[in-house]
Amino acid sequence: MESLSRQLHETNPMALLPATGEARTKMLPEQPTDLLVDVTEKDDEVIVTADMIPGVAKKDISLNLITPHSLKISCERKEEKKEEREGYYLRERSFGSMTRIVPLPKPVTENTASATFKNGVLEVHLKKVEKDSGGKISIE
């Protein structure tokens, strides 16, 4: 059981994405991350809504359409530099970078894509397309 668990968590998430032509109903295994997302589909677009980690600034979020069927959300929460470490009784807040690859139900393009970040919620609107593409998306 431990071996199976290790294989699931050490596998590159890109290898688990469905290849072109396969059924798009495959899901990635649950990834140990605090980036929780909702993916909805409307007539001509796919909308990804993510609850970001408290303390993450808009400038520390990166969006990349790595395939027409997968969106990569990356962020970094930076630790405030403090020389003194004394006085901590409990320290549970974590710092560092995090990445989540979100499978999308239909092929989309980064052209005409838009993203907003307000009150800790990231919302990405991606237009559906017939042909494949990929690229970086800026956040307003």
The residues near 100 (Cβ < 8 Å, ≥ 6 apart) are 31, 33, 35, 37, 50, 72, 73, 74
Please indicate, yes or no, whether the overall pTM of this predicted structure exceeds 0.75. Answer: no
pLDDT tens sequence for the chain (140 residues): 565 555 555 545 555 554 444 444 444 444 456 789 999 999 999 999 999 888 888 999 999 999 999 999 999 887 665 555 667 667 666 677 889 999 999 999 988 899 999 999 999 999 999 765 566 777 87
The residues near 55 (Cβ < 8 Å, ≥ 6 apart) are 77, 93
